[in-house]
Structure 1
Amino acid sequence: MSLSDTKLRAILGKPYTGKPELADRDGLSVRVTPTGTITWQYRFRFENKPGRLTLGRYPDLKIADARKAVPELRGSIANNIDPRVFWKQRNTYEGAVTVKECCEKFLQVRADGLKKGTIESYKSYFRAHLCDAFADRKVESITLGEWIDFFDKKAAVSRVTAGAILRHLKTVLNWAVRRQMISVVDVLQLRVTDVGSHSKVGSRVLTFNECGKIWRELDKRRATKTVVNVIKACLLSGARVSEILKSKRADFDLEAMVWTVPIEYSKTNIPIRRPISAALLEILQEQWSLYRSPWCFPAADLSKPANIAAVNKLVRHIKDNVGIPEWRIHDFRRTLSTRMSEAGVLPHVTEKMLGHLLGGVMAVYNKHDWLEEQAEAYEQWTSKIKLAALGDRSVVVLERRA
């Protein structure tokens, strides 16, 4: 016998000791708790397995509306769609957001707390991979299978890129869940190794003679002087290429001979202080004499810093001519740290040269920069690089033995 409002109102909110489930019709029924809470449910079979779907509570969901949902749910089964998936999508479309809208809102709200470089990284990934991936589809309507197909296509080009896209996506969608913009979605279950791979940690350490070959090859190139000097400055300082590119004249105190990387360009969120070596000063003075710009290594129009793409392009061009195993510009940092440690420079000094935070308690309480010790280490490092650049075979090459 079908349910009626009269019967349900007599039960609602009152102590109840009857049957926990009362049938209506066509698979529709209600479950009643001992306290008189009434919940609509729909029983069905999908792919030859029994299932049960909670539709909502009475009287928020009226009898007439619960019965109207039944043909839709039966239709989803006929179309080989799980009623649970159908019901979730049906009730999240209104007011829901797309992947693009999640990305845009994330940047809008979080921008003040992120570094400029981090924002640009997010924008780049969003623009290139996510914003147009599923057009106007609502986030909750995109199935896990569709996401897996999406990442498989990305992984076919680059597994590392596919993994990075997933990390960015999960950051945004987890944020959107916490903001209650969307409900929890299945793609958040995926791990980087399910769709791609993590970036590989480099292990390449150059010899001094290899550094000298690279320097000499740079001198042969008819490339823009700024781009050549960016690579040389990275080699001489061990700084991140982004720190070199974004450096300004005002960052260099020639009286104290200290270079300060401002917070906005520091990966550690604190200023990085390094002594200015004589070799680095030569590069800076050449740049300042050639270009009238607030940037030490400006682009052609002088109004902004040189582009990393131009630096990477030159590195690719000279690789074939130096005749040494595969290397990249970031290897200069590992090389400086390794070779200076071999020469007896203490680890906390090389960490400061690289612009790293110290570990453990030292990171909290010890704010010393060891500038004098850094300066001594830079003198050793740059003198060996200069000798190697001249092709001097007497330069000491210390290599870690297995």
Structure 2
Amino acid sequence: MSLTDSKLKSLLNKVSDKITILADRDSMSARISPKGKIVFQYRYRHKGKQKRYDIGTYPALTLAEARKVVPTLRDIAADGYDIKEYYAKDEIDNCKPTLDQCIELFMDKYVSRLRTSTQSVYHYSFGKHVKGKFKTPVEDITKPQWYAFFDEVEKSSTGYVAQTMVKQLKTCLRFCSDRGFINQHTLNDLATKSVGHNSQVKDRTPSISEIQQILRELERSQCLVSTKNTVKFIIYTGARCGEVREMELTDIDLKNSLWILPAEKSKTKIKIVRPLAPQAIKVLKEQIGLFGEFSKYVFPSATYQNAISSQTINKFCRAVRARMNLQSWTVHDFRRSISTILVDEGIEPYITEKLLGHSLGGVFSIYNKSNFLNEQLAAYSKWERLIG
């Protein structure tokens, strides 16, 4: 049976006539001295001999904290080291958490409260670039090791991704420091701007002819239909990529040709109602016909269990861009295009703001609660004709 805090509290400082060993999971145990002192221990074998390593003393070290140390100890023993020799002394300060353990705490206690799309970004970036890269305690990672790691991220991905990783890991370790999980670490000594580069101000506005070329290239692409249709739907509606990716069947009213985005899925935390023009409806009907029986998502991943990921969309767009003789573009640029081009075509700016899912500012937003559905539909229909 695993240890519990209540059991440990009942034994703490309780005088006995013998030493008691209570087993926990994953080869961890608690040693209770005759005077009631409780020490967490890890059992392992080295060169055929059974050994114990003192992890730390309860309650200075909590049960949960002691358990977080175990995976690191297991890895050390699995690599053939004697844990006591590895740390040179048997005190808990030498069993400092690894970067993986810091990420685990950060994901569990902080990231889990963020928006689903933000959680997905953290899960992907940490899983792809960070997990398993450092086995040494995070407090012992040197500046040269950090720089070598981020340089490798930039080499395998981009400078922007490398700099983003610096920001994400600083946030993670700051959170762990605030909770007392770790002490000093050298990542704080790195200037964020010394790694990679930040994102540039975006002003790309693909023209009608460019969008027509992109749509033709999408049709020629040999990829999963959900991937292709996600990008097409973004072009037709000017909606945010995350809004489209996470669209569920319950958000669609085909009878009335409406897409109703709940407030909890909206970046502005306000319900967004968009009318659907013919090409957008065509995409939705194809998706629902293909995947409606298997997934709650209109644009599902290959497993049908989740929404298609932003990484899949970005990878697909990189492949499409590589085949085209066009200035670089992203799916977010299409929002700029639909707004700019439709205003030039005579559509009122407040209507294009509604298409983009923006809140109307000033007194307008206080007294006018109309969704301007007819006007939006007219604008969307005009947009589809322009790029069709």
Q: Deviations over 1:15-52 (max 9, x none)?
A: xxxxxxxxxxxxxxxxxxxxxxxxxxxxxxxxxxxxxx
Unpaired stretches in structure 2, ≥5 consecutive residues:
1-89
Helix, strand or coil for the counterpart of 1:93?
Answer: helix
Which residue among 325, 348, 351 is the counterpart of 1:349?
351
Helix, strand or coil for the counterpart of 1:193?
Answer: helix
Cα RMSD (Å) of the superposition?
3.4
Cross-structure match for 1:194: 194
Cross-structure match for 2:228: 228
Cross-structure match for 2:137: 138
1:263, distance to aligned residue in structure 2 (A): 4.6
1:312, distance to aligned residue in structure 2 (A): 4.5
Change (3 A) 1:200 1:364: farther
Distance 2:111 2:302 in 1: 29
Structure 2 residue 323 is the aligned partner of structure 1 residue 324 = no
1:226, distance to aligned residue in structure 2 (A): 3.2
* Contact 2:166–2:192 (CA under 8 A) maintained in structure 1: yes
Distance 1:337 1:303 in 2: 34
Unpaired stretches in structure 1, ≥5 consecutive residues:
1-89, 387-402
Distance 2:225 2:129 in 1: 34
Change (3 A) 1:97 1:256: same
Change (3 A) 1:133 1:93: farther
Distance 1:252 1:314 in 2: 25
Cross-structure match for 1:275: 275
1:245 partner letter = R
Change (3 A) 1:175 1:269: farther
Change (3 A) 1:201 1:369: farther
1:189, distance to aligned residue in structure 2 (A): 4.2
Change (3 A) 1:310 1:110: closer
Instruction: Tell me how many residue pairs correspond in the alignment.
Output: 297
Cross-structure match for 2:285: 285
* Contact 1:93–1:138 (CA under 8 A) maintained in structure 2: no
Which residue among 335, 340, 343 is the counterpart of 2:342?
340
TM-score when normalising by structure 2: 0.65
1:255, distance to aligned residue in structure 2 (A): 4.4
1:99 partner letter = L
Cross-structure match for 2:149: 150
Q: For structure 1, which segment, 213-222 or 274-283, has the greater mean C-alpha deviation from structure 2 after superposition?
A: 213-222
2:169 partner letter = L
1:310, distance to aligned residue in structure 2 (A): 5.1
* Contact 2:231–2:313 (CA under 8 A) maintained in structure 1: yes
Structure 2 residue 369 is the aligned partner of structure 1 residue 385 = no
Q: Deviations over 1:143-175 (max 9, x none)?
A: 334333433443444321220111101111111
Change (3 A) 1:190 1:272: farther
Q: Deviations over 1:355-381 (max 9, x none)?
A: 345668988998664444433322221
* Contact 1:249–1:296 (CA under 8 A) maintained in structure 2: yes
Q: Deviations over 1:43-82 (max 9, x none)?
A: xxxxxxxxxxxxxxxxxxxxxxxxxxxxxxxxxxxxxxxx
**Sequence identity (%):** 32
Helix, strand or coil for the counterpart of 1:169?
Answer: helix
Change (3 A) 1:140 1:123: same
1:116, distance to aligned residue in structure 2 (A): 2.1
1:237, distance to aligned residue in structure 2 (A): 0.5
Cross-structure match for 1:121: 121
1:143 partner letter = T
Change (3 A) 1:178 1:236: same
